[in-house]
A and B are shown apart, each in its own frame.
Chain A
Amino acid sequence: MSSSTKRTSQTSTSQTSTSQAAATTPPQQNSLIITNPGVLALVQDQGRMGQHRIGLTVGGPMDPYAFCWANRLCSNVDNSSVIEISIGGFVAEFSQSTQIALTGAYADSKINGNPIPMWQTLSVLAGDVLKVGFASEGCRIYLAVQGGLLVKPQFGSSATVVREAIGGLDGRALTKGAVIALPPWQKQPNLMMPLTHQPNYQDKKPLRVVLGYQEASFSSVDKAHFFSSDYTVSNLMDRMGYRLTGPECRSTMSNMLSEGICHGAIQLPPDGQPIVLLNDRQTIGGYPKMGAMMARDTARLAQMTQGKTLSFEAVTIEQAHAINVLVKHKEDRIKLIHIDKKVQD
């Protein structure tokens, strides 16, 4: 209660200082002021690693590909803090000039009412208002700011995990009036992601699953159904996990001891409906698991909304490793287009 009061008062000081202009001391000059957080806006970096032993989950971006390129478009280091906007409806004001980039799900967005493109560096001036619309394809949007958001890390990370009240600002989702400090702007080149590398969130390719954990406890018939049927994203989908509906698939194990859950693990509780466990998952759990979805594909799953259909494809750990090495090699070679140069030409 007291901390929220404190934050509100901070906001009002910052607004006063902007209106009083630079004549007086500028205490909150380098900041991003949240006018409307929309459905859900969270500060995220790559996530909290090595803290499972005290029960802390990873957090971090649900779509690491879009997260990573938002930072690269701003010439930021890879682990810089950004804002993950789920669904949309986000509005914020910049108190200083800087450069930003929006990636991820497509949403009609505007600066001071003028439409702006995604997947490229954009310049903003002090006082500019950014409005992110609602996602029409996909559901996670990433807003990076040049130099990264200045958010104090907790257990080595700024990633917000609301369930744990850890990370971000006071361990909570961004609220109206929240003020996030920004580093002084250092002008960087304006870049654009080549169209061929901008993801297509309508992609229907099956989501790849490495068989593992209790996979041997599922009958071959159930397994065959699992890997040949369509599943639908249910309304129970959040940063902890996605519950899917489709043909029932049950383990023959009746009870098992709770054990560590890795990213993408596919849990099948007694109702036979799969739950894919994601960034904010509990670190241990006691339901049988078929294996785990590859992170490249949980990124695609995390962009899906209720009602979308999907299918699974089983891959071996050797195939998964080969895919990861090849795709990384390909991604390392992506050359961002310098837009400034193009204009000069």
Chain B
Amino acid sequence: MRIEIAGENALILYFSEQVSEASSDQIQAMTQALDVKVGKGIIDLVPSYASLLIVYDDYRYDYYAMKQLIQQTALKIGQNEREIDSLLTRPIVTLPVYYGPEASPDLDALAQHAQLSKEDVIAIHQAGLYQVYAIGFAPGFAFLGEVDARISMPRKTTPRQAVPKGAVAIADRQTAVYPSISPGGWNLIGLCPVLMFDPEKTPCMPVETGDKVKFEAISKADFIGMGGVL
């Protein structure tokens, strides 16, 4: 773990240079351990692919005190690996997806790009067990990885003005469900009827950083039945 300065009251911890499950587990363990201090000296935490940003109240902790707290926490985590295991055991969240033609405007292009049939693309997308590496871009937008290299595809050169709410998409080796209508350049291959962000609900998201996610194909009737809109 490398500790770097981000700003006057922010430090960023780098756990590795590459995305890996091991470093993701370390990030989750650190995030969980520091979470109790949010509102009590730590203002906010932003876990991401290989890093954790810590924003703190610089009237309560100076840079050295915060660095010390982080190092002590890292040490404690290292000594209690069993505790980490229990912290990291999370249920797998299954998200239903309707992959039908009305819901998947870029499936043809992706299948062509991958030189596979549409059925194969859908099967490969469903076969993956994805990790929530980061949440950002928009409220409830979860970056899931890693997508099987066979169905990876770069972002569209011209982003769409309005990607529909619930759109299931692929960009490079990442996949995601758009929580609301927004501009976006990812390739759309289906629609998920589950709300990814509901400010009226607690918790307001079905997943959090560190969770595992599976996609499961559903029929058009099920999609409509679950509240999906085409």
A residues whose Cβ falls under 8 Å from a Cβ of B: 49-56, 58, 154-155, 163-166, 210-213, 257-265, 282-285, 289, 291-295, 317-318, 320-321, 324-325, 328
Contacts and interface: CB of A to CB of B under 8 A. Distances in A.
A51 B62 CA distance: 22
B133 to A, nearest CB: 9
26 contacts: A49-B43, A50-B38, A50-B39, A52-B44, A53-B47, A54-B204, A54-B208, A55-B197, A155-B199, A166-B139, A212-B6, A213-B12, A257-B50, A258-B143, A260-B52, A262-B7, A263-B7, A283-B46, A283-B136, A284-B46, A284-B134, A284-B137, A285-B136, A291-B7, A292-B7, A294-B7
A257 B7 contact: no
A258 B59 contact: no
Given A55-B136, A212-B6, A292-B6, A262 B59 contact: no
B7 A210 contact: yes
B131 interface: no
B1 interface: no
B53 A260 contact: yes
Contacts of B48: 257-260, 284
A279 to B, nearest CB: 13
A260 B8 contact: no
Nearest to B46: A260
Interface residues of B, number: 44
Nearest to A291: B7
Contacts of A283: 46, 136
A166 to B, nearest CB: 7
Given A257-B48, A257-B50, A320 B8 contact: yes
A259 B51 contact: yes
A260 B140 contact: no
A320 B62 CA distance: 10
